[in-house]
């Protein structure tokens, strides 16, 4: 199993649903990380506002912050290697990095007797 580390910009929480402006990319990414955890991978997430020491302790992250400032955030590392910076990756991208497959949701099929609800058509 892989170790995924996410280094976020300073914010009040990692869910993206705080305050008046909901960040849909952040909400989706939080959901994607839960999927990654459920797949058995180790996930660690660090917020610059709440855990600044984690950004200093990781020499790679600290080096990028020293040269680029917080513009390099968010950073995503897998097994210690930076795989993404400046934006949150999609579930499909994370899945490819981890060598797993994302299950696509199946659409309901029409019944053989006609219509999606049977012989009388749709309800």
81-123 pLDDT, tens per residue?
999 999 999 999 999 999 887 665 455 555 555 555 555 555 5
pTM: predicted TM-score of the whole model, two decimal places: 0.78
Alpha-carbon distances, residue 97 vs 36, 89, 112 (angstroms): 11, 10, 40
33-44 pLDDT, tens per residue?
999 999 999 999
Q: Count CB neighbours of 60 within 10 A.
A: 13
23-33 pLDDT, tens per residue?
788 889 999 99
DSSP string, 42-90: EEEEEETTT-HHHHHHSHHHHHHHHHHGGGG-SEEEETTEEEEESSPPP
Q: Give the chain's domains with CATH numbers.
A: 3-98 (3.40.30.10)
CB 61 within 8 A of CB 75: yes
């Amino acid at each position: 199993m892989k170790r995924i580390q996410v280094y976020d910009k300073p914010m009040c929480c990692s869910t993206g649903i705080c305050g008046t402006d909901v960040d849909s990319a952040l909400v989706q990414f939080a959901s994607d990380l839960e999927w990654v955890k459920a797949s058995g991978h180790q996930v660690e997430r660090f917020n610059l506002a709440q855990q600044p020491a984690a950004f200093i302790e990781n020499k790679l992250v600290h080096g990028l912050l020293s040269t680029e400032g917080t513009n390099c955030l968010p950073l995503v590392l897998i097994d210690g290697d930076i795989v993404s910076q400046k934006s949150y990756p999609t579930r499909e991208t994370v899945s490819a990095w981890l060598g797993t497959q994302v299950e696509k949701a199946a659409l309901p099929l029409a019944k053989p007797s006609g219509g999606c609800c049977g012989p009388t058509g749709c309800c």
